[in-house]
Amino acid sequence: MGVSRLDVFYRRLLLTKLFIGGWGKPEDLKRIFAFQKVIGDREKCKYLVPKDYPVYINKTEEQADCLIHHGFFMSPLEHLVPGILPREAVKARFQFIVPKKWQKNRPVCIHLAGTGDHFFWRRRTLMARPMIKEAGMASLLLENPYYGYRKPKDQLRSSLKNVSDLLVMGGALILESTVLLRWLEREGYWPLGMTGISMGGYMASLAVTSWPKPIPLIPCLSWSTASSVFTTGVLSKAVNWTELEKQYAINSVYEEEIIKLLDYCGADSFKMGPEFVKNADCLGRVSGADGVSVAEAERGILIGLGSEGSGAGLNNSGASSHTPPGSLHPNNALHGKKTNSDNSCRPSLHRESISFMKGVMDECTHMANFPVPVDTSLIIVVQAKEDAYVPRTGVLSLQEIWPGCEVRYLKGGHISAYLFKQNVFRQAIYDAFNRFCLK
């Protein structure tokens, strides 16, 4: 399957670089990975957020068709991993958009924001208001850390400064989603579900893995891991690899200590097979002006480190196994690569940095590293066939990780689906909620 020309063209319009600050403080990464072991365990998650965690509504607006409640609460992440969030992001803000008259039950869908979705206008206009009209369904829009009111003063637009920021965002949103689901339960709303587009779909998926009950989940334009987004997708061209490579070379703690904390080593961890070469070759031909050549792909974006077995790392039930062949372990994939003590003479530095990025992203975003949602039949995934932002080649599919989930494919790429297929996303939400009610 090829990639969307529109996706490639649109990426070229984005001039700002991602992760200009680098990887983030090593001590922050260590704390994030330690905490990931906790939120990756559903039993432990039950006790992280008290059932009566305080949530406040501070303003209500009346519209012709709905009420818009403005609310806030303090992110539990600040209590559990103090100081990891920027000061501006500690206060979590949301809008709760409720129909004036319910049609049946009191259904609420929580929408998590995609990349660049600051404040609430976009989700309110494209999803929440139509859902009131079409299905009488309420929407709760949570603002991501690092976005809108929660954006650090030194951050340029949506460009997260450090790789660690994305991981902190994910940990915060898992806990904050739990706060909101429990609050909605206390207030008598039912049924409850979660959705998101692009990065919002990843975050909604992560949040549902820690929820101890069956719940509708509708991730749109996201897949099983965010690692491919930053290593092989068109967005990888926006990553500030120069700074990441420099920090990786200079500070040995990333190579000598952080790597040892990366536990995920499933079938697709640090594995790039022939399909990746084909995929990157296609990307290079389409992108043209981006200058992605096969040679550059082989040198940098493509790693070719592991075996090509597609089933290793999964047990018979489809769940993740943490005892795959040793050759797939990140420690083996990255250690022993220095050929010269002079960092400037490390031709593999770019490759090592991309391997490290893949390991870090898989550790905190790969769905196989988290519990399988309680009822996978309530999951409807909506994916674009020619998505150049979220590559599916070479990574475990969601059907392998979550047996029983449904995947619906749209023609076209990431950008065209976002612009023109919001109605398809909404229909998937209604179908998942109806399925839940029937069960």
Tell me the Ramachandran region of residue 19: left when phi exceeds 0, alpha when psi lies from -120 to 50, beta otherwise. Answer: left
The 10s digit of each residue's pLDDT in 384-405 is 999 988 988 888 999 999 999 9
Higher pLDDT pick, 262 / 413: 413
Q: 13 pLDDT exceeds 50?
A: yes
Confidence of residue 343 (pLDDT cuts 50, 70, 90): very low
What mean pLDDT do residues 27-33 have?
94
Higher pLDDT pick, 294 / 142: 142
Q: 269 pLDDT exceeds 90?
A: no
Q: 314 pLDDT exceeds 90?
A: no
What mean pLDDT do residues 30-53 have?
91
Confidence of residue 12 (pLDDT cuts 50, 70, 90): confident
Please, what is the end-to-end C-alpha distance for the chain in angstroms? 36
The 10s digit of each residue's pLDDT in 353-367 is 999 999 999 999 999
The β-bridge relationship of strands 66-74 and 91-99 is antiparallel
pLDDT of residue 265: 61
Predicted structure pTM score: 0.82
What's the burial of 230, exposed, middle or buried (CB within 10 Å: 0-12/13-18/19+)? buried
Higher pLDDT pick, 164 / 272: 164
Strand order in the sheet with 66-74: 56-62, 66-74, 91-99, 138-142, 108-112, 192-197, 217-220, 380-384, 406-410
A 10 A CB-CB count for 430 gives: 18
Tokens of 167: 């991981």
pLDDT of residue 104: 85
3-state secondary structure the chain: CCCCHHHHHHHHHCCCCECCCECCCHHHHHHHHHHHHHHCCHHHHCCCCCCCCCCEEEEEEECCCEEEEEEEEECHHHHHCCCCCCHHHCEEEEEEEEECCCCCCECEEEEECCCCCCCCHHHHHHHHHHHHHHHCCEEEEECCCCCHHHCCCCCECCECCEHHHHHHHHHHHHHHHHHHHHHHHHCCCECEEEEEECHHHHHHHHHHHCCCCCCCEEEECCCCCCHHHHHCCHHHHHECHHHHHHHHHHCHHHHHHHHHHCCCCCCCCCCCCHHHHHHHHHHHHHHHHHCCCHHHHHHHHCCCCCCCCCCCCECCCCCECCCCCHHHCHHHHHCCCCCCCCHHHCCCHHHHHHHHHHHHHHHHHCHHHCCCCCCHHHEEEEEECCCCCCCCCCCCCHHHHCCCCEEEEECCCHHHHHHHCHHHHHHHHHHHHHHHHHC
Highest mean pLDDT among 55-69, 269-283, 289-303: 55-69
The 10s digit of each residue's pLDDT in 120-134 is 999 999 999 999 999
pLDDT of residue 114: 86
Confidence of residue 158 (pLDDT cuts 50, 70, 90): confident
What mean pLDDT do residues 154-178 have?
92
Q: 295 pLDDT exceeds 90?
A: no
Portion of the chain with pLDDT greater than 90, in percent: 62
pLDDT of residue 270: 47
pLDDT of residue 2: 76
Confidence of residue 1 (pLDDT cuts 50, 70, 90): low
What mean pLDDT do residues 276-301 have?
36
- Asked if residue 266 lies in contact with residue 313, where contact means CB atoms within 8 angstroms, the answer is yes
Helix 163-186 and helix 349-365, axial crossing angle in degrees, nearest 10: 10
Higher pLDDT pick, 305 / 392: 392
Q: 248 pLDDT exceeds 80?
A: yes
Q: Residue 377: what residue type? A: S
Report CA torsion sign: 383, 404, 373, 323: negative
Q: Please give the mean pLDDT across all residues of the chain.
A: 82
CA distances in angstroms from 328 to 93, 126, 215, 229, 268, listed in the order given: 41, 42, 33, 20, 8
pLDDT of residue 432: 98
What's the burial of 125, exposed, middle or buried (CB within 10 Å: 0-12/13-18/19+)? exposed
What's the burial of 143, exposed, middle or buried (CB within 10 Å: 0-12/13-18/19+)? buried
- Asked if residue 419 lies in contact with residue 114, where contact means CB atoms within 8 angstroms, the answer is no
CA distance 26 to 260: 13
Higher pLDDT pick, 38 / 337: 38
Confidence of residue 347 (pLDDT cuts 50, 70, 90): low
What mean pLDDT do residues 89-110 have?
96
β-strand partners of 98:
67
Q: 88 pLDDT exceeds 50?
A: yes
Distance of CA 346 to the CA centre of its chain: 31
Portion of the chain with pLDDT greater than 70, in percent: 80
Q: Which residues neighbour 314 within 8 Å (Cβ) at sequence distance 6 or greater?
A: 266, 267, 320, 321, 368, 396, 400, 401
CA distance 159 to 250: 24
Q: 35 pLDDT exceeds 90?
A: yes
Q: Residue 145: what residue type? A: P
Confidence of residue 345 (pLDDT cuts 50, 70, 90): very low
Q: 6 pLDDT exceeds 50?
A: yes
